[in-house]
Amino acid sequence: MMPVGQAAKDGTAALLAESTPARKQKSRIDGQTKQPEPVKVPKTEELSRMRRLFGFELADLSSWKRFVCMMNRPTDPASLGVFRFLFGLLMVLDIPQERGLGYLDYKYLDGLEVCRFPLFNALHPLPLDWMYLVYVLMLSGALGIMLGCFYRLSCLLFVVPYWYVFFLDKTTWNNHSYLYGLIGFQFVFVNGNRYWSLDGLWNPRKRNAHVPLWNYTILRAQIFIVYFIAGLKKLDADWVEGYSMGSLSRHWLFDPFKLVLSDEMTNLLVVHGAGLTLDLTAGYLLFFDLTRPLALFFVSYFHCMNSQLFSIGMFSYTMLATSPLFCYPDWPRRLVTKLPRLLRSVLPPVEVPQRSQDCVYATPIRTQKTRTKAKDGSHAEGTDGGTAGSSPGLRQKLGAFFTVLYILEQLFLPYSHFVTQGYNNWTNGLYGYSWDMMVHSRSHQHVKITYRDGLTGEIGYLNPGVFTQTRRWKDHGDMLKQYATCLSGLLHNYNVSEPEIYFDIWVSINDRFQQRLFDSRVDIVKADWSPFRRNTWLMPLLIDLSPWRLKFQEVESTLDNQTEVVFIADFPGLHLENFVSEDLGNTSIQLLKGEVQVEIVKEEKNYTLKEGEGMQLPAGEYHKVFTVSDTASCYMYIYVNTTAVVLEQNLTRLQELKEKVQNGTETEPLPEELMPILHGPDEEMNVTDPLIEAFLRRQRRMEESEKRRNATVADRFLRFAFKKYFLFRRSFLMTAISLRNLVLGRPPLEQLAQEVAYASMKYDEMAVAKSKKTEDAPQEDRSEL
Convert the pLDDT of each residue in 293-327 to its tens digit: 999 999 999 999 999 999 999 999 999 999 999 99
Paired sense of beta strands 442-452 and 500-509, if any: antiparallel
User: What is the DSSP code string of 139-187?
Assistant: HHHHHHHHHTSSHHHHHHHHHHHHHHHHHH-GGG--HHHHHHHHHHHHH
285: Cα within 13 Å, side-chain hemisphere: 18
Distances (CA, A) of 528 to 181, 303, 416, 482, 640: 32, 42, 22, 12, 42
pLDDT band of 376, cuts 50, 70, 90: low
Pick the range with the lowest mean pLDDT from 292-296, 547-551, 698-702.
Answer: 698-702
Q: Which is more confident, 699 or 682?
A: 699
Q: What is the pLDDT of residue 769?
A: 54
Q: Which is more confident, 696 or 345?
A: 696
Q: What is the pLDDT of residue 373?
A: 52
Question: Helix, strand, or coil here: 569?
Answer: strand
State the average pLDDT over residues 492-499: 92
Residue 394 pLDDT more than 60? yes
In angstroms, the CA 693 to CA 330 distance is 65
Residue 17 pLDDT more than 50? no
Question: Helix, strand, or coil here: 60?
Answer: helix
Kindly report, residue by residue over 95-114, the tens digit of the pLDDT: 999 999 999 999 999 988 89
Q: Which is more confident, 692 or 302?
A: 302
Question: Helix, strand, or coil here: 504?
Answer: strand
Distances (CA, A) of 484 to 3, 421, 466, 768: 51, 20, 11, 46
Q: How would you classify residue 86: left for phi > 0, otherwise alpha for psi between -120 and 50, otherwise beta?
A: alpha
Q: What is the pLDDT of residue 685?
A: 65
List, edge to edge, every strand of the sheet that includes 500-509.
459-462, 442-452, 500-509, 515-516
Kindly report, residue by residue over 461-475, the tens digit of the pLDDT: 999 889 999 889 999
pLDDT band of 21, cuts 50, 70, 90: very low
Q: Which is more confident, 499 or 386?
A: 499
Backbone angles phi, psi at 240, to 5 degrees: -60, -35
In angstroms, the CA 201 to CA 531 distance is 49
**Using alpha carbons only, what angle is made at residue 7 by residues 6 and 10, rounded to the nearest 5 degrees?**
85
Residue 161 pLDDT more than 90? yes
Residue 680 pLDDT more than 80? no
pLDDT band of 119, cuts 50, 70, 90: very high
Q: Return all residues near 382 (Cβ < 8 A) that are at least 6 apart.
A: 74, 361, 362, 364, 371
Residue 693 pLDDT more than 90? no
**Residue at 459: amino acid letter:** I
312: number of Cβ within 10 Å: 19
Residue 732 pLDDT more than 60? yes
Backbone angles phi, psi at 623, to 5 degrees: -145, 160
pLDDT band of 763, cuts 50, 70, 90: low
Q: What is the pLDDT of residue 379?
A: 52
State the average pLDDT over residues 730-757: 95
Backbone angles phi, psi at 690, to 5 degrees: -60, -35
Q: What is the mean pLDDT of the chain?
A: 86
Kindly report, residue by residue over 71-81, the tens digit of the pLDDT: 999 999 999 99
In angstroms, the CA 526 to CA 488 distance is 10
Q: What is the pLDDT of residue 341?
A: 83
Residue 261 pLDDT more than 80? yes
pLDDT band of 722, cuts 50, 70, 90: very high
List residues with catalytic annotation: 234
| CB 41, CB 8: distance < 8 Å | no
* Strand partners of residue 75: 211
Pick the range with the lowest mean pLDDT from 226-240, 275-289, 401-415, 648-662.
Answer: 648-662
| CB 148, CB 197: distance < 8 Å | yes
Q: Which is more confident, 523 or 705?
A: 523
Is residue 259 classed exposed, middle or buried when 0-12, 13-18 and 19+ CB atoms within 10 A define those classes? exposed
pTM of the model: 0.87
| CB 195, CB 77: distance < 8 Å | yes
Pick the range with the lowest mean pLDDT from 66-75, 255-264, 426-435.
Answer: 426-435
Task: Name the residue among 323, 312, 325 with its Cα closest to residue 178.
Answer: 312
Residue 171 pLDDT more than 80? yes
